[in-house]
Structure 1
């Protein structure tokens, strides 16, 4: 029996998922939570096999932070994200946070069940489009001949700007924390993108994930 906790800020979504999953002989919904803090507390108490969690929850702790904490405290519990975000940036952040799986809310019920059973066995699961994009990213990286040495071409300040940008800080926030001007932040960011051959913020985030620069405290 696969024990599951559902973590989503919408009560209707939790109710619908409970109805879907409770009808399966090999799955038992043992708890629910409306945000990351409640999800962590429930997992500590109930020790589930899988935490089925929304990624974006506006109140309380978000899914990424909660996933990172859960993987530290309960490494035997798989975190499966069920989200509306079909987006590379969120996907890579989820993987870095320790998620075992990533499924879209628009996916068929059968795919969700397959994902739950996969991560419960210790196997990772990504929705098909995500798998294709990861393979494409990998093969394109091989063709470009990406080298870890590129990171060393950045100045220490550029590395700081890279990390903070990838974590979602706005230019003004970076400027305030580093005690520099917004224009200087923009210049550093431009230099980082040029040196690393990046063209967009999602690409920057993926690069930061690969380099292990993102930490979810």
Structure 2
């Protein structure tokens, strides 16, 4: 951040008119609040997001869940892998519980409905930049009910995939963006042991890479948020 009252923002949205609307809304907030929101870049696909995040290190990313050639869940997972330290606020037309849960599980700090931007965005930005979680009041209770149901389904999914307790632990840290060495430290095992567990996990999930394993784990509900 440039100063205590400045917040750098990256807009991730594949609709140019919607991005312009976001810029206008953020400019309005600048004229009516104490903080200055500085848009440092715009992206409409995964490659652009990762490049701009590395180059600009934005404090906040405003992320749509539907982008050119990918989805916002994959973007969230990829941001974890490059150790992005800022906050991600999802802006989406999807109001289904599953979409909200998957986004939060993948690392979002908040979720705003696109048709409620005018009433929710300012509060959401203030909330997530204060290291708190933002969810619209009308879905908060539904979200936590979904979370409770998910905890049970997570156990069933792991059982069906025949994942051991240790493999579940490795998979959890993998979804947090940890390297083999970092996972080894968390679990008090060697990096070689972690590599062996990952080989088994890849085989059971029928994937060939860390990224595929993370996305598959999140989509199948194999790890808890």
- TM-score by length of structure 1 reads 0.64
1:200 maps to: none
For structure 2, the residue ranges without an aligned partner over 5 or more in a row are: 1-5, 164-204, 207-216
2:79 maps to: 70
1:189 maps to: none
For structure 1, the residue ranges without an aligned partner over 5 or more in a row are: 158-176, 179-204
1:14 maps to: 19
* Aligned mates of 1:28, 1:152 — CA distance in 2: 43
Q: Secondary structure at the match of 2:39?
A: strand
* Aligned mates of 2:74, 2:158 — CA distance in 1: 29
**Which of 55, 58, 61 in structure 2 is aligned with 1:51?**
61
* Aligned mates of 2:154, 2:95 — CA distance in 1: 28
Aligned counterparts, 1:88-127, within 5 A: 88-127=97-136
CA RMSD, Structure 1 to Structure 2 (Å)? 3.2
Aligned residues: 164
2:91 maps to: 82
Q: CA deviation at 1:60?
A: 3.1
Aligned counterparts, 1:1-217, within 5 A: 1-25=6-30, 26=35, 27-57=37-67, 59-137=68-146, 146=152, 150=156, 154=160, 156=162, 208-209=220-221, 211-212=222-223
* Aligned mates of 1:8, 1:112 — CA distance in 2: 15
- TM-score by length of structure 2 reads 0.62
* Aligned mates of 2:83, 2:158 — CA distance in 1: 35
Q: Conserved in 2, the CA contact under 8 Å of 1:9 and 1:33?
A: yes
Q: Conserved in 2, the CA contact under 8 Å of 1:7 and 1:34?
A: yes
